[in-house]
Amino acid sequence: MKVKNQIILALDVEEKEKAFSILEETTQYLDTIKIGYPITLALGPKIITDIKDNFDVKIIADFKVADIDATNEKIVRNTLNYGADSIIVHGFTGEDSVTACKEAAENLGKEIFLLTEMSHPGADKFLKPVSLDIAQMGVELGIKNYVAPATKLDRLKKIREIVGKDAFIISPGVGFQGGEAKDTLNYANAAIIGRSIYNSESPQESLEQIIKSIS
């Protein structure tokens, strides 16, 4: 996978008009966006199709899939059938649940991202103790794409060491949560940035400044 300018826009807005306005300002610099529950629950899953029909972007569905294998398969299949190119899944649910996601995506010619550790402080209590094991499980399952935190560079570095240089890591937490794009990209392939762009008075100018800071 390749990401233009190594930046993924987390489009966590809830209005279609605002979402499209932001995309119109930023897609000359971006070719990948991440959408999650806020926009999907507000507008319905067809928003995935609407974005794909109107903008030349890859969509990562950040649904953090975390259920039993049979349910995971349904979530992944239905999400990707709306047009998402890939979907983020939790690893703590174990090998059978993750494998169901991986196989469902591959059957559609698409991919999953395995979430190893989250970027917020609360993740330290429960996810941090197992995140390296989740990364190792991903390697053993042949998973190529991972999510690891920009706010915890020591953890991001360790996860990179486990998954290897050929794996593709995307990293949330840049901007409002405190992560720095340039530092993050020492270990990750792409930085995920949301509020610093979509809450800006000029999303385009904010994105241009971020790109300049990492060039």
Backbone region of residue 44 per phi and psi (left: phi > 0; alpha: psi in -120 to 50; beta: other values): left
Contact 75, 63 (CB under 8 A): yes
Alpha-carbon gap, residue 91 to 143, rounded angstroms: 11
Residue 180's SS3 state is coil
Contact (CB, 8 A) for 66 and 97:
yes
E-strand ranges in the chain read: 7-10, 32-35, 58-65, 86-90, 111-115, 145-147, 168-174, 190-193
Q: What's phi and psi for 92, nearest 5 deg?
A: -65, -15
Q: 64, 144, 152, 157: which is the annotated catalytic residue?
A: 64
**Strand, coil or helix: 152:** coil
Is 64 part of the annotated catalytic residue set?
Answer: yes
CA 209 to CA 211: how far, in whole Å? 5
DSSP state at residue 91: S
Three-state secondary-structure class, residue 21: helix
Indicate which residues carry an active-site annotation.
Answer: 64
